[in-house]
Amino acid sequence: MTVNVNTLRPLAGSGRKLYIETYGCQMNVGDTEIVVSLMQREGYVYTERMEDADVILINTCSIRDNAEQRIWGRLAELKGLRRRRPGLVVGILGCMAERLREKLLDGATGVDVVAGPDAYRDLPRLVREAEAGGKGVNVLLSTEETYAEIAPVRLDRNGVSAFVAIMRGCNNYCSYCVVPYTRGRERSRDASTIVAEAQSLFDNGYREVTLLGQNVNSYRTGDVDFPELLRRVASVSPLLRVRFATSHPKDMSDRLLETMASMPNICRSIHLPAQSGATTMLERMNRKYTREWYLGRIAAIRRYMPDCSITTDLIAGFSGETEEEHRETLSLMREVGYDFAYMFKYSERPGTYAQRHLPDDVPDDVKSRRLQEIIALQNELGLASYRRDVGREFEVLVEGESKRDANQLSGRTSQNKVVVFDRGEHRVGDYVRVRITGCTAATLFGEALE
């Protein structure tokens, strides 16, 4: 018989209920799953109902000012709940923790715990301190922490696709970006723990993993680089789909493309943030590539995998952006023909190189107009991309029921496009061959072929 060491001492949590709200990127979603795992070990029980919780944690994002504003709003709302529930512990996790610890601990906001992205192992102690009436604070960043052996508790519940963090932090220092300051230095997680996690997900019925990092192309541990890691994870089973995000164009190697092309279960979908289409702007952004380099990488992707979808991130109105530079972004979009894009208005972030040296000098109405032009063009390009799929056949991995109609299922193509089709005898987790019969700008409709 094995003895659970936790039973040898009283558990601090002992049935107390934990609620976590997550903001921001997929990395944060993954971190929340690690936090739940660490807190469950201490006897806390996860709840989906905030009203029932003894401990409320908010996993925060600092990437743009509006993300932070939403969280301040949320904290103001929680103050009422705290008045009604003495003893309730409220904690802040993630990117805002480091940046705003002082302000967060100020009596007015009423936060009891502040834990940065590398301090989650310490969280049970921090919460205990708060429960004893103190404040629990740890925002130390680490050069080593990867939570390598922690088995995340999957909260998504579709039971088909899961995120797996393979690295943390970022060393790129794009001049607008706060991430290197909030999440610290880049470090890669041990490859064998990543492959073991993918294997265990597969054994538990999962059929898709998305490998996550700020810049997965620079993954390295020992002699395992990213193409090799991808090959190992994809070798778990031909029935396990593998995706990854995010790639930095400067590190997008032919070897990676070769590896992808050689294994059909590595998905035909690449997220390659361009940020801007103008070389002069890319220089100010410290992106370390030119427009021509970026287009060269797109050509390489098309060469290796003509059916690969390409998506991107774009920023409108960064420091000094001229009308000509903005037009170059629009022309880059047309040249690539993105399937999808995340599009943002530049938001100056405290502590970044840009905030210190590059004025936020594009007037807000100009930023908004440029962003609107980018969005309008992407709507056109996205619709064209979905229309091209009508009449084609795809293998769809079923993720769940369609939100609109319980007689229909919803899944994704390898290119990461959502497909809705009649249920028939098919079930969640199945691979189904589907012919596309129609589309909107964000969904394909089809009929199962078997």
Which chain residues interact with ligand SF4 by CB under 6 A?
170, 172-174, 177, 179-180, 214-215, 248
By C-beta, is 175 or 309 nearer to ligand 5AD?
175
Q: Answer with the entry of ligand 5AD, ligand SF4, none that 419 interacts with (C-beta below 5 to 8 A by kind).
A: none
Cβ–Cβ < 8 Å for 382, 338: yes
Q: Answer with the entry of ligand 5AD, ligand SF4, none that 16 interacts with (C-beta below 5 to 8 A by kind).
A: none
The token pair that represents 367 in the structure block = 């930023």
Residues in the chain: 450
Per CB under 6 A, which of residues 19..78 are in contact with ligand 5AD? 63-64
Shortest-Cβ-distance residue relative to ligand SF4: 177
Cα separation, 266 vs 414, whole angstroms = 8
Minimum distance between the CB of residue 180 and ligand SF4, rounded to whole angstroms?
Answer: 5
By C-beta, is 118 or 399 nearer to ligand SF4?
118
Q: Residue 35: CB partners within 8 Å, gap ≥ 6?
A: 20, 57, 59, 93, 120, 123
Q: Residue 438: CB partners within 8 Å, gap ≥ 6?
A: 390, 444, 445, 446
Q: Answer with the entry of ligand SF4, ligand 5AD, none that 215 interacts with (C-beta below 5 to 8 A by kind).
A: ligand SF4
Q: Is 315 in the site for ligand 5AD (CB under 6 A)?
A: yes
* 203: three-class secondary structure by DSSP: helix
With b for 16 or more beta-carbon neighbours within 10 A and e for fewer, the 115-152 pattern comes to bbbbbbbbbbbbbbbbbeeeebbbbebbeebbbbebeb
Q: Answer with the entry of ligand SF4, ligand 5AD, none that 248 interacts with (C-beta below 5 to 8 A by kind).
A: ligand SF4
Among 215, 259, 347, 385, binds ligand 5AD (CB under 6 A): 347
By C-beta, is 170 or 229 nearer to ligand 5AD?
170
* 100: three-class secondary structure by DSSP: helix
By C-beta, is 183 or 426 nearer to ligand 5AD?
183
Q: How many CB atoms lie within 10 A of CB 83?
A: 10
By C-beta, is 51 or 342 nearer to ligand 5AD?
342
Minimum distance between the CB of residue 318 and ligand 5AD, rounded to whole angstroms?
Answer: 8
By C-beta, is 234 or 332 nearer to ligand SF4?
332
Phi–psi pair at 296, nearest 5 degrees: -65, -40
By C-beta, is 340 or 344 nearer to ligand 5AD?
344
Cα separation, 59 vs 20, whole angstroms = 7
Burial status of residue 363 (CB atoms within 10 A of its CB: 0-12, 13-18, 19 or more): exposed
Residue 138 bridge partners (DSSP): 115
Minimum distance between the CB of residue 347 and ligand 5AD, rounded to whole angstroms?
Answer: 4
Cβ–Cβ < 8 Å for 414, 394: yes
Q: Answer with the entry of ligand 5AD, ligand SF4, none that 184 interacts with (C-beta below 5 to 8 A by kind).
A: none
Minimum distance between the CB of residue 72 and ligand SF4, rounded to whole angstroms?
Answer: 22
Per CB under 6 A, which of residues 235..274 are in contact with ligand 5AD? 273
Minimum distance between the CB of residue 245 and ligand SF4, rounded to whole angstroms?
Answer: 11
Interface residue list for ligand 5AD (CB under 6 A): 63-64, 176-177, 273, 275, 313, 315, 344, 346-347, 349
